[in-house]
Chain A
Amino acid sequence: MAANPSLDLGTITISALREEHDLSSFCCGESDLDKFINKKAKKLHLDNRIKVFCACARDSHSVCGLYSLAIRHEDTKKLLAEGDPPLPEKNFPALYIGTLAVSLRHQNQGLGTILLINALRRAYYISQNVAVFGVALRSLNDRTTKLYEKYGFGLREDITQPLMVLPVWSLNDLMTRS
């Protein structure tokens, strides 16, 4: 996994979303995700419905990538529509990684891996205090599904943007035996 010298990962900091972070022009190339990030993410963070974490170069407020964490899954498509049906994961206590995205000009440089593991680190500490079965996310496409499967996420359904789950015991194993 070679890092492109144009993005020095050593200068990246990941912190909770702050007022000065501008998400209105963030672009990762996935239109639904971009729409959600540009229009909804900050408000949902402010309402405490999700927690957004942003990766920025040190001393900069320009967001290179981000992810969100929540106990309940928020479907980006449903968030943009009226009259949402009940969420189908109601029997599944999990931590949900939502909207994991890297801006177009910072893609393929390892930042997505950094963001995923950072999210798993936070999920691990939460799981030490709150009972959950795993860490879940919705995979964007076949490429990410294959990648998450290699990481040990189980595929729950065979549809577009399927729910995938990393069991909490795999997470414990990673954090305590690596």
Chain B
Amino acid sequence: MLIRNPSYTAAAMLSVRGLSKSYDKDIHALRGIDIDVKEGEFLVILGPSGAGKSTLMRCLNRLVEPTEGQIFYNDQEITGRRRNLRALRRQFGMVFQQFNLVKRLSVLTNVLTGRLAYRSTWRSLFYNFSKEDKRIAIECLARVNMDHKAFQRADTLSGGEQQRVAIARALAQQPSIILADEPVASLDPKIARQVLTYLKQVSRELGITVLCNLHQVEYTREFAERIIGMSRGKVVFEGTVAELNDEVLHRIYYRDPDEQDEQNA
């Protein structure tokens, strides 16, 4: 059963109610998720692999369609609407575990692709971007300290560098939220901390909300402002770092949330 702190019901920028996602009637990736995301916070979703964190994120920017439930963004319901998807998606900047940069293009062009939602298709036909786009992209690169490699091919960079470029790409969208899906799972600890520091620092400077999926408890303790714990498609914890004690961790990682509910009922 979810332990809810009453003070968090105020002023949520992004809200999810009863969100569920099933595949083929058998696989229930998400089961009735309720979450509120406050503006400007660094919210970490903590849970083991398979908990449904990625699915949840992809439901938010509609890469995956939820089977049930509602999503509210700035008090407007956005579920079900496929129109104006471009305008919606550019509000959500996404950072992937595999970086997903276009390997053959330059670092700068990769970041510029973050501006595509603002440009008409015909203009992009010639791989052309406006001066303003180029300025924004370069500035985003400078903010993550990757501007010195702007003209190199993306696949010549190391893992940590590529992820910083990916963050710059998300920033170039001028989003209100960044969705980071296990951004450091494939990086070693020193680089991972560096990337997470950049992520937190830059979003602080620009006032961007961050929703970050992590499965590592140490990083969560170091970077989160607020934590939501997920296990097997359900939310099992919501609170601050201080409240993340061993009992909570046990609930997230070891117990079956269905058993939990039965016990509490």
Same complex for A and B? Answer no
Residues of B within 8 A of A (CB): none
A interface residues (Cβ-Cβ under 8 A, vs B): none
